Amino acid sequence: MNNIVAIVGRPNVGKSTFFNRLIQRREAIVDSVSGVTRDRNYGKSEWNGKEFSVIDTGGYIKGSDDIFEAEIRKQVELAIDEADVIVFVVDVEEGITPMDEEVAKLLRKITKPVLLAVNKVDNAMREKDAYEFYNLGLGEYFTIAGMNGSGTGELLDKLVEILPEVPSNEEEETLPRFCVVGRPNAGKSSFINALIGEDRYIVTDIAGTTRDAIDTRYTRFGFDFNLVDTAGIRRKAKVKEDLEFYSVMRSVRAIEHSDVCILMIDATRGFESQDQNIFWLAEKNRKGIVILVNKWDLIEKDTMSARDFEKKIRKEIEPFTDVPILFVSALTKQRLLKALEETVNVYENRKQRIATSKFNEHMLTIIENFPPPAIKGKYIKIKYCMQLPTPTPQFVFFANLPQYVKEPYKRFLENKIRENWNFEGVPIDIYIREK
């Protein structure tokens, strides 16, 4: 499970540039993954062999200037609650602004480590201008230039040095971990209460009344797994609004530390952008996914049939549409056991291994009949393929000209794999390599 680093600061100080620099450094090492990255505010980074998750709070602020102040304060409070380390970015060109002072005031009160990054310092003159940031009362600062990356190395050295140790729990690791995620009030706690049969969680109509992500071992009806509840959105009384950022931030930890994510959607609200954010977060982390449309008992059936509703969701999650979608009601306990069965199936699908001989026999016949399109008169030949021995399903195809195999053909290969083997609910990676 990774540590979380949150980047905070007022708009236009260069948070996103810094964020992109951190995650690209990581992306440069890893292969580019098929599918589009939907949300640009969350990524993984690695420095000196330590991996951590980065959250850029900036991308979530929408609205006019007068709303900004309140929004930024909320986001900083949230980051303080949820992150392990906070990077506070300021802008040397503009010097200390009242809003910077506000943020610094919040950060001075906390015990978590805070790193102050003075951005846009790209010459000696500006190096001198940076001295004034000592006045924020946060101690040492780091001068960086997000655009060309100078100074980020020193900052990152310090960052990984102060990241708290992540405890690993060996005994529990053997049990499958299923986490329940979704926006506030989608019915996550009610779902867990209905399964466990006792009101472990206080359920009220106020969003986010559950305190923390709680693990429960579930051993009924022949099941045995750990259930992680992220209804655990620890709400500060001050954070009133239903902040998109906030659900996502809360889900990050649980998602990274689970095998399958059960995404609860409120049928009365439909599949909203926040649900999508959480979906792509799980997909990007290569977790199994099951979508549960909750409160289905409240929907007037003549206005919207399950089929139409399902079609709409699948449209929103393209190209990864091979995901189980179930209509449930935590209140009437309708289809809850079916939901658990599906989750266990997805877990099994994610673990399955296909024998190389079988895989070649099947896929090479398909490739022979439908080879990749020739480019500039060059013919692409794929002679061998196999599943990689990785924790999540990854397949490699060896070709003479791998650079010419484009995204649509990779998707074609993925679809053929899905047609023949059951990978429902599981993201698949396809790599083309030189033989």
Binding residues for GTP: 9-16, 56-60, 119-122, 182-189, 229-233, 294-297
Label residue 288 exposed, middle or buried (CB < 10 Å: 0-12, 13-18, 19+): buried
Can you list the alpha helix ranges (DSSP code H) found in 203-256?
Answer: 244-256
Binding site as annotated, residues: 9-16, 56-60, 119-122, 182-189, 229-233, 294-297
DSSP calls for 314-359:
HHHTTT-----EEE-BTTTTBTHHHHHHHHHHHHHHHH----HHHH
Helix (H, G, I), strand (E, B) or coil at 216: strand
In angstroms, how far is CA 271 from the centroid of its own chain?
Answer: 17
In angstroms, how far is CA 252 from the centroid of its own chain?
Answer: 5
Give buried/exposed letters for 396-431 (b at 16+ CB in 10 A, else e): bbbbebbebbeeebbeebbeebeeebebbbbbbbbb
Task: Tell me which residue of 259, 351, 269, 356 sits closest to 313, measured CA to CA.
Answer: 269
Helix (H, G, I), strand (E, B) or coil at 33: coil
